[in-house]
Amino acid sequence: CLADLIETFRAQLRDDPDVASAVAAIRVLLGFLKQDRGETIQGLRSSLLAAIETLSGVDSSVAVLSGGELFLRFISLTSLEYSDYSKCKEIMIERGEIFLRKVSLSRNKIAKLCHPFIRDGARILTHAYSRVVLRVLEAAVESKKRFSVYVTESQPDQAGQKMAKALRKLNIPVTVILDAAVGYIMEKVDLVLVGAEGVVESGGIINKIGTNQIAVCAKAQNKPFYVVAESFKFVRLYPLNQQDVPDKFKYKADTLKTNQNLTEEHPWIDYTSPSLITLLFTDLGVLTPSAVSDELIKLYL
């Protein structure tokens, strides 16, 4: 049954490359909930925890963890309201569907909030491949703005090239630059816009490796650093430095399973502290980094 879970998850990610991995995880977990034969909330929780473990084994990114935690929280909140298990399960399934529908609208909400911040003639710097940033830039093009974009190549998987291709399709002038050229290009740029894989409690973000460097350069040259992220990426971590980010997020799932000595491996993500971020655009509104922890507290306490 858990093996089917892995298959369904992989299939979801394959068939719909545009969907965020957290949403795919939540969809899979909802399907798992529908098929669950248990009779108690405790049983449900433990089987869900096992399911989330397996999903992290497929895709070890922060987003899957945040999606899973959100789903667990959703279960706990609903179970507090209804004591009868079968009624509770019906309500959960209904609310789960509504949640998935709302979440699919979140990228458009963010694009609507963010595109007024892109002025005519702006030069934007972005990092690696982010579907949310792509949506924001699409919205800016639709509102007839002219701007140009610099994308970092983003080694080791050259995700920046993928981003550049997608932007060229929208007729946006794009230049791909080396990761090392960020300091050089920063003086030409008007604003920096990046996505996030996870937003942590302090208001900082976890994103593809290289983001921290860009944020530091932007701060040094007084350029605004904007982050776009959906609210389901908020996660209950509080790293104080790079070492505090758990190893299970830094490396791909296969590497964690096969390799014992991680000091030779290159990490895939880094942590950017909230003092370097100007504003976060989420489907809950435009937030300053200090507002993020408020949102998390409202949910989890």
Q: For binding to other proteins (CB under 8 A), which residues are involved?
A: 70, 73-74, 77-78, 94-95, 98-99, 102-103, 116-120, 231-232, 234, 278-279, 283-288, 290-291, 294-296, 298-299
List the strands of the sheet with 269-272, edge to edge. Answer: 198-199, 205-208, 269-272
Q: List the structure tokens of 244.
A: 């505090």
Give how far Cα 127 sits from Cα of 131, 212, 226, Å.
11, 11, 12
Cβ closest to other proteins, residue 155 vs residue 278: 278
CA terminus-to-terminus distance, the chain: 33
Cβ closest to other proteins, residue 163 vs residue 189: 189
Rounded to the nearest whole angstrom, what is the least distance from the CB of residue 269 to other proteins in the complex?
22
Rounded to the nearest whole angstrom, what is the least distance from the CB of residue 73 to other proteins in the complex?
7
Q: List the structure tokens of 228.
A: 């776009």
Contact at 8 Å (CB) between 143 and 119?
no
Cβ closest to other proteins, residue 46 vs residue 143: 143
Cβ closest to other proteins, residue 137 vs residue 256: 137
Return the residue matching tokens 């667990």: 72
Rounded to the nearest whole angstrom, what is the least distance from the CB of residue 178 to other proteins in the complex?
31
Rounded to the nearest whole angstrom, what is the least distance from the CB of residue 137 to other proteins in the complex?
15
Cβ closest to other proteins, residue 116 vs residue 267: 116
Rounded to the nearest whole angstrom, what is the least distance from the CB of residue 262 to other proteins in the complex?
32
Write b or e for each residue in 33-45: b if 16 or more Cβ atoms lie within 10 A of its Cβ, otherwise e. Answer: beeeeeeebeebe
Return the residue matching tokens 């399911």: 51
